Amino acid sequence: GIMSYGTDAQASLMDDGMSTAFSETARPTIRDVARIAGVSIKTVSRVINDQQYVSADKRERVRQVMTEIGFKPSHAARALAGHKSHQIALICDNPNPWYVYEIQFGVRERCARDKIRMIAQPYDRASPTLFDDIVALLDQANPDGLVLAPPACDDTRVLDELTRRGTPFVRLQPGLRIDEGPAALIDNERAAFDMTTHLLGLGHRRIGFIVGDRSYAASGQRLAGYIGALGEQAVEIDLDLIRQGQFDVASGEAAADALLSLSQPPTAIFASSDDMAAGVLAAAHRRGVRVPGALSVAGFDDGPTATIVWPALTTVRQPVRALAEAATDLLLSPAQGEGPQRRLLAHEVVPRASSAPPTG
């Protein structure tokens, strides 16, 4: 067993108080082992997982250091025995609690079938310690794999680190380096194209568009779909009609105020999330602009917001829970085929009371 290594060394260390240096702060990590043993993290991980390509003396040194500094013997021992941790980590960030809940529910539902535990790690993309937090999660919880929701799924540092460690991961709605790792997604560009085409079909020609948060690839994809639909029907693209939002109610309201203040305001506004569309409704109601009489409004998501607001929102339904479940399934039962596995799920345009043909 692992505890038999370096016990003499450990005893001698006890005397000069070195072994307590770690216990008062964080638990020792694989990085500490690598630093003290003077080897790479990769080498330590090979020793822990009993893989080849490590010389006998390096292996001995690493095991000795692990014992000396009390590096998570339970994890190390389990890894040495080749057992898994039977837990996967979900890295998720979104200003919309419904979206986060649906993703967690989908992941948990699929995990439950295999008696796997889900650990959720909130991802604050503004946090300066974001990358270190994810590395610490990998070191401490030792998950068998990760589900990366946007925008973590497009964080190149995270992708590079997981690839370097050989940790399995799956991505929800990736936008960059699309072919890296398995993924579950909807066609965001096509979905926005379909909604814009729906509004054009009602007779609208001046259609405002509110772009989502820049750090999400889906935001650019949805903007591309809006532009593509206008282009296909030879409707001129007016940059005044495109405004930046943040996927939240307040930014939708601010963007709608700007759009409705134009000398030629739009007859329809397509916001690329339901929360932003709720903000559009608030701005319209405050200004006495009738919906859908004077202004049609459309959103994207089809979460609870869509039917709580008045009038109920015409929106794009994206199957968030099913996407999360499909992603987790790809992680837990990877197919043995060539190339990355992809699951493309269907979206749907759901017309409700907030849209109608333009009047006048």
Full pLDDT tens readout for the chain, 360 residues: 444 334 344 433 344 444 444 544 567 888 889 999 999 888 887 888 777 678 889 989 999 998 888 886 444 444 444 557 889 999 988 778 899 999 999 999 999 999 999 998 777 777 788 888 888 888 888 899 999 999 889 989 999 999 888 899 999 999 888 888 899 999 999 999 999 999 999 999 999 999 999 989 999 999 999 999 999 999 999 999 999 999 999 999 999 999 999 999 999 999 999 999 999 999 999 999 999 999 999 999 999 999 999 999 999 999 999 999 999 999 998 666 666 689 999 999 999 999 999 996
Give the whole-angstrom CA distance, residue 256 versus residue 245: 10
* Domain architecture of the chain: domains with CATH: 2-80 (no CATH), 87-185+321-344 (3.40.50.2300), 188-319 (3.40.50.2300)
23 Cβ contact list (under 8 Å, min separation 6)? 70
pLDDT for residue 338? 62
The values of phi and psi at residue 14, to 5°, are -55, -40
What pLDDT does 8 receive? 41
**β-bridge mates for residue 170, sequence order:** 147
Closest CA relative to residue 181, chosen from 217, 154, 199: 154
Query: What local confidence, expressed as pLDDT, does residue 12 receive?
Result: 38
Is 64 within 8 Å of 7 (Cβ atoms)?
no
Q: Positive or negative, the Cα torsion across 95, 98, 103, 108?
A: positive
In angstroms, rounded to a whole number, what is the distance separating the alpha carbons of residues 64 and 61? 5
Helices then strands (H, E): number in the chain? 15, 12
Tell me what pLDDT residue 77 has: 46
**Beta strand spans in 127-182 (E):** 145-148, 169-172
What's the full length of the chain, in residues? 360
pTM here is 0.76
In 3D space, the residue among 226, 308, 318 whose CA is nearest the CA of residue 271 turns out to be 226
- End-to-end Cα distance, the chain: 82
